[in-house]
């Protein structure tokens, strides 16, 4: 299995799916500049962009962190059997995600914490699974770490506008059952557990969070959708089509890249193509990604 080391912790990627986005590049990034895209084709193809179809390659995966004390899962992909008609890539899936988690050596009941950077369809789906016609927590012993702001925004009971938004289905089938089961922990920025700290990075969603892992003098940032694609390291001013607040999303992305370069932190995004993890460097007034290959055990 592919493993990244961060101090005394290990990180593994648990894949749900990887492949071309189902929208053209100008839809994926409404402010895309073709001249910038063309300049980087030498490294974008084939792991990050397919010129024959003009689609970006995007991954959907979780990060499994193993510290000396806990097994921690960050972001839970889209999930199986979820009704997502507004986003065909995540509608009524039947993937081998849990088999891949088991292949990494961890069963659902061995997960201690589940961390959601935000509550969009492709980050919260495996929070629950269908059992005897009911949605129940997939990870029965885990504490689920949710942003208090994020939950308040997506809960139709506290935000009536969500009652008219089809995306509230994610809250109903993948968050509310966790809350009802007493497994949810609603947190604010600054919350810490094990070697992780929750930091606010709103913009892509109202309560979007970054999870910062610090271990033995090393640091890693698990940034959810604060950045979507590796090309944005070169073009952080490009906003993603799903950024709820484009201005704040752009600010969060610049702050993320500055922090990674200044503090030499590894960046663990959720949608970058292979090899998925980068170190960010300053280059004059811009940033450059250095892809970090995993080591392999077994």
What are the residues facing 291 on neighbouring strands? 278
| Residue 205 in tokens | 């969603």
- pLDDT number for residue 151: 97
How big is the CA angle at 225 (ends 169 and 290), to the nearest 5 degrees? 155
Burial 42-51 (b: 16+ CB within 10 A, else e): eebeebbbbe
Preceding amide of 275 cis, omega within 30: yes
pLDDT in the model for residue 171? 97
CA neighbor of 231 nearest in space, from 14, 15, 28:
28
For 284, phi then psi, to 5°, come to 60, -120
C-alpha–C-alpha distance, residues 262 and 278, integer Å = 14
Render each residue's pLDDT in the chain as its tens digit; 298 residues: 789 999 999 999 999 999 999 999 999 999 999 999 999 999 999 999 999 999 999 999 999 999 999 999 999 999 999 999 999 999 999 999 999 999 999 999 999 999 999 999 999 999 999 999 999 999 999 999 999 999 999 999 999 999 899 999 999 999 999 999 999 999 999 999 999 999 999 999 999 999 999 999 999 999 999 999 999 999 999 999 999 999 999 999 999 999 999 999 999 999 999 999 999 999 888 999 999 999 976 4
Residue 76 · residue 125 · CB < 8 Å? yes
How far apart CA 292 and CA 251 sit, in angstroms, is: 25
pTM of the model: 0.96
CATH number of 2-296: 3.60.15.10
Identify the pLDDT of residue 24. Answer: 96
């Amino acid at each position: 299995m592919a493993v990244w080391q961060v101090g005394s912790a290990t990180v593994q990627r648990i894949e749900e799916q990887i492949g071309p986005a189902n929208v053209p590049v100008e839809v994926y990034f409404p402010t895309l500049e073709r001249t910038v895209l063309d300049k980087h084709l030498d490294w974008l193809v084939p792991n990050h962009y397919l010129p024959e179809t003009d689609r970006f390659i995007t991954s959907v995966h979780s990060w499994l962190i193993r510290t000396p004390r806990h097994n921690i899962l960050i972001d839970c992909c889209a999930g199986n059997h979820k009704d997502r008609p507004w986003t065909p890539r995540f509608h009524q899936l039947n993937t081998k995600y849990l088999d891949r988690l088991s292949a990494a050596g961890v069963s659902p009941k061995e997960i201690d914490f589940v961390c959601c950077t935000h509550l969009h369809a492709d980050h919260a789906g495996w929070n629950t699974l269908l059992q005897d016609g009911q949605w129940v927590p997939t990870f029965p012993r885990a504490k689920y770490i949710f942003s208090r702001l994020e939950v308040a925004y997506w809960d139709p009971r506290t935000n009536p506008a969500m009652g008219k938004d089809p995306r509230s289905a994610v809250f109903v089938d993948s968050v509310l059952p966790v809350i009802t089961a007493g497994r949810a922990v609603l947190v604010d920025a600054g919350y810490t557990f094990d070697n992780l700290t929750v930091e606010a990075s709103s913009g892509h969603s109202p309560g979007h969070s970054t999870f910062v892992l610090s271990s033995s003098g090393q640091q890693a940032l698990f940034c959810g959708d604060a950045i979507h694609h590796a090309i944005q390291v070169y073009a952080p001013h490009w906003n993603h089509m799903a950024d709820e607040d484009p201005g704040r999303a752009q600010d969060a992305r610049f702050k993320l890249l500055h922090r990674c370069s200044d503090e030499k932190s590894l960046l663990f995004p959720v949608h970058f193509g292979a090899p998925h993890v980068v170190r960010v460097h300053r280059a004059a007034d811009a940033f450059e990604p250095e892809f970090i290959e995993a080591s392999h055990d077994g």
